[in-house]
């Protein structure tokens, strides 16, 4: 598995409820650009429209040798999920405060581009401070344990 893009900000801004692996529909020049690692998913999110999951805000830079075959870098991209998974996601997103956020994009061993999609609940500012404080405390404990050994 080759990691292409990681959304570190998502784990900071959201509580992750559940994750799904989804395929993604790309054109030829987009997949070539993905293999070069020219992808950003920081500002992206997913919506369900007409029983299809669509990913918005994902930036795939144009392929250098793509000339006229290059597409719009920010065009909406369709995600491939099973029907029962989509119906579950519809149930989640109708609840207040839950959204669909991509956590990472990678190419699996079979050469297919995949997106790890998370059902997430937004954190408040005080939740973010608590998470940061807990992480810092854990880090200090680990350092102290290493020094004592």
Domain annotation for the chain: domains and CATH numbers: 2-124 (2.40.280.10)
pLDDT score at 63: 85
pLDDT score at 105: 93
pLDDT score at 64: 83
Q: Is the pLDDT of residue 141 over 90?
A: yes
Which tokens in the block code for residue 50? 């007409």
**What mean pLDDT do residues 118-145 have?**
89
How is residue 141 annotated by DSSP?
A: H
More confident residue, 114 or 12: 114
> Using one digit for the tens of pLDDT, what is the confidence trace for 43-93?
899 999 998 999 999 998 888 887 787 888 889 999 999 999 999 999 988
The pTM score is 0.79
Percent of residues, the chain, with pLDDT higher than 90: 44
Instruction: Specify which residues 114 forms β-bridges with.
Output: 23, 106
**C-alpha span between 62 and 50 (Å, rounded):** 29
Task: Give the Cβ contact number of residue 99 at 10 Å.
Answer: 15
């Amino acid at each position: 598995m080759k990691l292409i893009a990681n959304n570190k900000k998502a784990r900071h801004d959201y509580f992750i409820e559940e994750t799904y692996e989804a395929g993604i529909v790309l054109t030829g020049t987009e997949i070539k650009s993905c293999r070069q690692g020219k992808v950003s998913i920081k500002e992206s999110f997913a919506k369900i429209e007409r029983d299809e999951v669509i990913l918005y805000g994902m930036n795939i830079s144009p392929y250098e040798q793509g000339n006229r075959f290059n597409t719009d870098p920010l065009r909406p991209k369709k995600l491939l999920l099973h029907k029962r998974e989509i119906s579950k996601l519809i149930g989640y997103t109708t609840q207040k405060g839950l959204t669909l956020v991509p956590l990472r994009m990678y190419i699996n061993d079979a050469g297919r581009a995949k997106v790890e999609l998370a059902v997430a609940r937004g954190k408040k500012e005080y939740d973010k401070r608590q998470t940061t404080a807990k992480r810092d405390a854990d880090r200090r404990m680990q350092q102290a344990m290493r020094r004592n050994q």
